[in-house]
């Protein structure tokens, strides 16, 4: 029977360290804001999506854009960058 050290998939001391994956957060925020902008345009172009009980839908899109802009400014100032923390 093979021991842990001789098995092909056995863990080695170097395998215990997990390196973090770099995620471009500015790009994530930009894509999210683009999605809210597209949603706002669709809601404003189609009249049934912003009348009656759905009159709050455009404001939801505007709020998403505003919060995304605040988050983007936060990231660009460097406070959202975990590497500099």
Domain residue limits, the chain: 24-79
- Could you report the per-residue pLDDT of 10-25, keeping only the tens digit for each? 656 666 788 888 888 8
Query: What does the alpha-carbon distance between residue 39 and residue 7 come to, in Å, rounded to a whole number?
Result: 53
Residue with tokens 């404001």: 59
- Could you report the per-residue pLDDT of 35-78, keeping only the tens digit for each? 999 999 999 999 999 999 999 999 999 999 999 999 999 888 87
User: Residue 3 pLDDT > 60, yes or no?
Assistant: no
User: Do residues 29 and 72 make contact, with C-beta atoms less than 8 angstroms apart?
Assistant: yes
Query: What does the alpha-carbon distance between residue 16 and residue 62 come to, in Å, rounded to a whole number?
Result: 45
Query: What does the alpha-carbon distance between residue 54 and residue 57 come to, in Å, rounded to a whole number?
Result: 6
Q: What is the model's pTM?
A: 0.69
């Amino acid at each position: 029977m093979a021991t842990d050290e001789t098995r092909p998939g056995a863990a080695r001391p170097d395998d215990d360290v997990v390196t973090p994956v770099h995620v471009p957060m500015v790009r994530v925020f930009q894509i999210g804001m683009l999605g809210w902008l597209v949603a706002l345009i669709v809601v404003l172009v189609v009249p049934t999506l912003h009348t009656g009980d759905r009159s709050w839908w455009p404001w939801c899109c505007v709020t998403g854009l505003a919060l995304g802009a605040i988050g983007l400014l936060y990231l660009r100032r460097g406070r959202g960058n975990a590497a500099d923390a």
